[in-house]
Amino acid sequence: MFFLYTVSFGRTEVIDNTLNPDFVRKFILDYFFEERQNLLGSLGSRLEKPLIGIPGRKCGTIIVRAEELSNCRVKSVMLQFCGNKLDKKDFFGKSDPFLVFYRSNEDGSYTICHKTEVVKNTLDPVWQAFKIPVRALCNGDYDRSIKVEVYDWDRDGGHDFIGEFSTSYREMSRSQSQFHIYEVISFTHTRAHTHTHTQTFIFLLFLGPTSLHYMSPYQLNDYAMALRAVGEIIQDYDSDKMFPALGFGAKLPPDGRVSHEFALNGNPQNPYCNGIEGVLEAYYQSLKSVRLYGPTHFSPVINHVARYASAVTDGSQYFILLIISDGVITDMAQTKESIVNAASLPMSIIIVGVGPAEFDEMIELDGDEERISSQGRYAERDIVQFVPFRDYIDRRGNHILSMARLAKEVLAEIPDQFLSYMRTRGIKPGPLPPPYTPCPPPHLNTTATAIIH
């Protein structure tokens, strides 16, 4: 490792067992226009200095490369790679593959920007998804070349080269939420010829600028955990367990039309899904066909459910809308009006906020401290319950416990909201069933599940 002096402000990672380390960790230095700062080299060039150690003994050189950071609309990107039929490099076993990413510099050279973990003893590795700043990949130039090398890890540091491929941020982003296949090229040299081999394949799943929709092979994402936590409880109060599932905030194929009210299963005439597992399957499939897009509008799906609820006001059905959102509401005035109108209908709204965003608007919609109003009209009753999922995530990674905590919190107000509607309408429970006849649970029609970007 090395330090930058005279003021220490960071340190690189440790690279074991090598005299020629290529450090991944970057350092961002501020340039102050108003201060005198010594210029050591020009931007885009490299600075090479000898290391000073024992007098009279060469200690090697250090090479530093600097480049001005550009403003980038997309801050970071989530990527996941997996391999298929990688070359076998170990004599007694399979390969231990890992990936090394390089971004191209202005002078045509390459600088390392990321390394994956090593996946042991496999020719079909699945590397963990990783989040990386787009500036680190391409410095805001979406067409800049990105080189990826595949190695077989060796304990002695002499990692075996398996192959390489090149791509760009723009090329990767075209395959958002879908697999993109790269052929990995390897070279062998003989005395007369250089032979090219393309027997290895790397699959990329581009997950866009956030990780919230990332479909891990090991665990549910926050959207899926919220769906399952709430849905597995309320589905037992629905007799047929058929749930309309809606998405909003996406561009739909084939023409890229932006929609804030579309069927997750792709069938607008019949958006119903069979149970919560059916809703999850529709959600996963939709990520492969739609392109996530803003802004975030709540009112269309609230009005969608309200149309159903307004047709059944005799107390025979009660509707629950579950909205899972990661963004700022961009139609706040329309959403307030929709909630005020829906407060007189047999329905409740559960909003689960996922991700690190500030949820001030959603807290306002909750109405616990002040009854929500629109154009001088106050909601007849409180029908909204909002919770940020991050407050209920178990820090030790116990997702079952996280889902149990979330479900307990978001469903706590539903019975009182249900009873408040029935009491204000003078609707009394039906007659008791005959003796020894099992009594079905109250029919709560969970009418729509809305999932957004």
Q: pLDDT tens digits, residue range 383-396? A: 999 988 888 877 67
> pLDDT grade, residue 423 (50/70/90)?
very high
Residue 309: pLDDT above 60?
yes
Report the distance separating Cα 94 and Cα 87, nearest Å.
8
pLDDT band at 377 (very low <50, low <70, confident <90, very high): very high
Residue whose structure tokens are 């005439």 = 269
Predicted local distance difference test score (pLDDT) of residue 204? 56
Q: Burial level of 67, CB count in 10 A (0-12/13-18/19+)?
A: middle
The reported pLDDT for the residue numbered 201 is 58
Question: 112 is written with which tokens?
Answer: 């390392």
Q: CA angle, corner 403, sides to 401 and 405, nearest 5?
A: 70
Count of CA atoms in the C-beta half-sphere (13 A) of 304: 25
Least confident of 152-156, 278-282, 447-451: 447-451
Across 52-56, 58-62, 89-93, 318-322, which has the greatest mean pLDDT? 318-322
Encode pLDDT of 400-420 as tens digits. 887 888 888 888 889 999 999
For the ranges 149-163, 180-194, 341-355, the lowest mean pLDDT is seen at 180-194
Statement: residue 225 has pLDDT above 90: no
pLDDT band of residue 434 (cuts 50, 70, 90) is low
Q: How far is CA 62 from the centre of its chain?
A: 38
**Burial code of 143-168, b = ≥16 C-beta within 10 A, e = fewer?**
ebbbbbbbbbbeeeeebeebbbbebb
Question: What's the pTM?
Answer: 0.55
How much is the pLDDT for 81? 87
Helices 275-289/222-234 angle, 10° precision: 150
The torsion of the CA quartet 252, 257, 263, 269, rounded to 10 degrees, works out to: -120
Q: What is the pLDDT of residue 194?
A: 44
- State yes or no: pLDDT of 440 exceeds 60: no
Confidence of residue 151 (pLDDT cuts 50, 70, 90): very high
Q: Other CB atoms closer than 10 Å to residue 256's CB: what's the count?
A: 11
> Is residue 53 predicted with pLDDT exceeding 50?
yes
* Domains defined for the chain, CATH in brackets: 71-206 (2.60.40.150), 222-452 (3.40.50)
Find the mean pLDDT for residues 269-295: 87
Highest mean pLDDT among 55-64, 357-366, 376-385: 376-385
